[in-house]
Amino acid sequence: MANIVEDSAYGFIPTLWICALFLVLYSLSTATHVGQAIYYRMWWLFPTMIFGGIGEIIGWTGRLWSSQNYHNEKAFYMNICSTIIAPSFMTAAMFIIMGRIIGLVGEEYSRLRPRTYSIVFVTADFAALIVQSVGGAAAAMADTHEASEKGSHVMVAGIIIQMAAITIYCIIQADFLWHVLSDRPVRIRFSRSVVATPPSDPEDASRMVSLEKQAGSGRARLTSNIKNMLIGLILATVFIYIRSIYRTIELLGGWKGKVYVNQKLFNSLDGMPIFMAMFVLNVFHPGRFIAMGNERNAVA
């Protein structure tokens, strides 16, 4: 069992070298994401993945500060609020990436259209972010331990909303991949280049379906680039999901709970998984595999 430091808001004194290590790792990954976003002209990554990385940098800066002055409340809330909120920006990027994959492989295999997919899940993610921010602000401004606990419970609600969104996202993602691999569309796809509106005549409709099949099944459109992007996306999702489960259990147990006061659990189930999610998307970057429109190396 971890030794509890009673006069520390953490229940322990953060280890200096671990805080410094994570601060360096997050800084390097975020700087890489900035360079990649500029190179591939993927500006939407700035308010999503990069903002998330900056949030983690702020959080670990606060934790590093706490390692030298653990009585400082500003450093404590700087760490707690930032590390809770930051991953919401990252999941928004993941939802957008999955929407792009659906559009490239074939929206006829998805129960939600790409644009609808992105709007629904990014909105849910934004709602989770708002709830977490409100809870973080309430905890930071609390004058009593009880009021601070209430703020933490609001933050938990935000994390649960985020985890629910990720869970539904995983289910829809799995359903989409199953329909692609088994070549079982949930709707007919009509090529806009051939016809502006779906034909009303049965024979014309049959001919259009035939033309679409000639263009290749969803499995055929599942190129090596898209497969690589899916691998990266799945890995990042697993890491963030692990972290969401941990933070929910941690905050539900309260500021003095056994999980909360265990520094090793925080480092291994929050710090490391979120860094790994960022690093995975450095390696499996959407600019390499699914760039679109005016972005560099666009595939569509």
32-74: pLDDT as tens digits? 999 999 999 999 999 999 999 999 999 999 999 999 999 998 9
Q: How far apart are CA 245 and CA 96, in angstroms?
A: 22
Indicate the pLDDT class of residue 117, thresholds 50, 70 and 90. Answer: confident
Indicate the pLDDT class of residue 297, thresholds 50, 70 and 90. Answer: confident
Residue entry with tokens 């996202």: 169
SS3 292: coil
Cα 113 to Cα 69, 102, 125, 217, distances in angstroms: 51, 8, 18, 18
Q: How far apart are CA 69 and CA 22, in angstroms?
A: 18
Residue 280 CA, distance from chain mean position: 12
Query: The tokens of 259 are what?
Result: 């999980």
Query: The tokens of 239 are what?
Result: 């890491």
Average pLDDT score over residue span 100-110: 91
33: Cα within 13 Å, side-chain hemisphere: 27
Which residues make Cβ contacts (< 8 Å) with residue 170, sequence separation at least 6? Answer: 237, 241
Average pLDDT score over residue span 282-293: 94
- State the first-to-last Cα distance of the chain, in angstroms, to the nearest integer: 54
Which residues make Cβ contacts (< 8 Å) with residue 160, sequence separation at least 6? Answer: 248
Best mean pLDDT range from 17-31, 126-140, 202-216: 17-31
Indicate the pLDDT class of residue 1, thresholds 50, 70 and 90. Answer: very low
Any idea what the Cα angle at residue 51 is, between residues 47 and 53, rounded to 5°? 145
Indicate the pLDDT class of residue 3, thresholds 50, 70 and 90. Answer: low
104-113, 148-157, 169-178, 197-206: segment of lowest average pLDDT: 197-206
In the predicted structure, residue 177 carries a pLDDT above the cut 50: yes
Q: Residue 135's closest CA among 95, 168, 162, 166?
A: 162
Average pLDDT score over residue span 62-90: 93
Average pLDDT score over residue span 258-284: 96
Instruction: Express each pLDDT in 131-147 by its tens digit.
Output: 988 888 887 787 787 78
Q: How far apart are CA 213 and CA 195, in angstroms?
A: 15
In the predicted structure, residue 192 carries a pLDDT above the cut 60: no
| pLDDT, the chain, mean | 86
Other beta carbons within 10 Å of 144:
8
Average pLDDT score over residue span 259-269: 95
More confident residue, 254 or 130: 130
